[in-house]
Amino acid sequence: YHIAPIHDNKPNRATAAYKADNIIYVPIKPSGGKTLINKIAIITAMFTNLKIIIHTIQKVEWVHFRAPANIGIYVLPLLSIIKSKKKWVKYAGNWMKKDIPLSYSLQRWWLKKNILKSFVTINGQWSNQKRHLLSFANPCLTQSELLNANKIGIAKQFSGKLKICFVGRLDENKGIEKILLSLLNIGLTKHIEEINIVGDGPGRDKCVSLSKKILLSIVFHGWLSRSELNKIYAKSHVILLPTNSEGFPKVIAEACAFGCVPIVTNLPPINQVITNNLNGILFNIPSVQEITRIIMFLKSNREKLKKMSLLCLDKAKEFTYSKYLSSINKKILKDNR
């Protein structure tokens, strides 16, 4: 049973319908947002949603919850008082990030204190990590996808013009505008052939307007299906993600499988996977000036990029579904069969 909010808007191309017959979707009311009215809606929707959640939980042996989320404010306390079910929570954000919303901070505190008496899977590894906190990589590749992507990555050449991709929300936090401003600073350059921007968001119109001033081919694809996105990875040499905050974006692992060199922000847990100048390049401060410097660095360091690309292929092996399922069996299910 998958309990999740149902929205009126049409799904984008990055979404996919369930194909398995044994997955049952259970809709609840969506709530939350930036305005006061939207935040109050979390409370008004709570009673209806709790009734549905409690009814569904009675049918299952295990409960898995993905935090942080708006509904976590009342779902985590609910799970704490339900003793008869086995529980596992995934915390998807940066486990040690300081400047997070109050509701997220409360949920993280709840999980740190292990009030649920459950396993909590987190991104990265941290000092003084408690036993119930399990470090898990986010899976994103089947074994066949990995093998096919690696073949493309091994054959990828870095001697000609380079293609760069960005994959993510088009908003200030993800840094897409900084990329465009750095390209505007550089002007016409012969070592960059094309910039492919995958994703959508509130900053799209501003980014499209800004791109028209840049003397390079810039393509806005919107959200893509996984097969369409793989075509972008296959032809790209670099994935550029100057984000301000993250857990561990799965697009980094997806791109690495195709030999795309990640140029990403020096944040944990990203820097626990990507080592600067070894299998990628890390921004200490993802500023326009720093992005400009690194884009120009690409021009005269092709052999180094190729070496980084080959090391990326090996790193992608950590993000297969088979490895993830194996970890679930060994670390979570072993004592709860």
State the pLDDT at residue 337: 53
State the pLDDT at residue 332: 93
Pick 196 or 98 by higher pLDDT: 196
Residue 147 has pLDDT above 90, yes or no: yes
- At 52-100, the pLDDT tens digits run 999 999 999 999 999 999 899 999 999 999 999 999 999 998 898 888 8
Judge whether 124 and 95 are in contact, CB under 8 Å: yes
Nearest CA among 252, 231, 240 for reference residue 138: 252
The chain-wide mean pLDDT, for the chain, equals 94
Q: Given pLDDT bands bounded at 50, 70 and 90, which one contains residue 43?
A: confident
Please report where in the chains the tokens 């054959």 appear, as a residue. Answer: 155
Residue 112 has pLDDT above 70, yes or no: yes
**Could you tell me which residues are beta bridge partners of residue 5?**
28
Sheet order of strands, 281-283 included = 217-222, 192-198, 162-167, 238-241, 261-265, 281-283
Kindly report whether the peptide bond that precedes residue 11 is cis, defined as omega within 30 degrees of 0. no
State the pLDDT at residue 307: 97
- At 163-172, the pLDDT tens digits run 999 999 999 8
Residue 335 has pLDDT above 70, yes or no: no
Judge whether 227 and 248 are in contact, CB under 8 Å: no
State the pLDDT at residue 91: 96
pTM as predicted = 0.92
Q: Is 162 helix (H, G, I), strand (E, B) or coil?
A: strand
- What the block records as the tokens of 302 is 């092709």
Average pLDDT over residues 285-298: 95
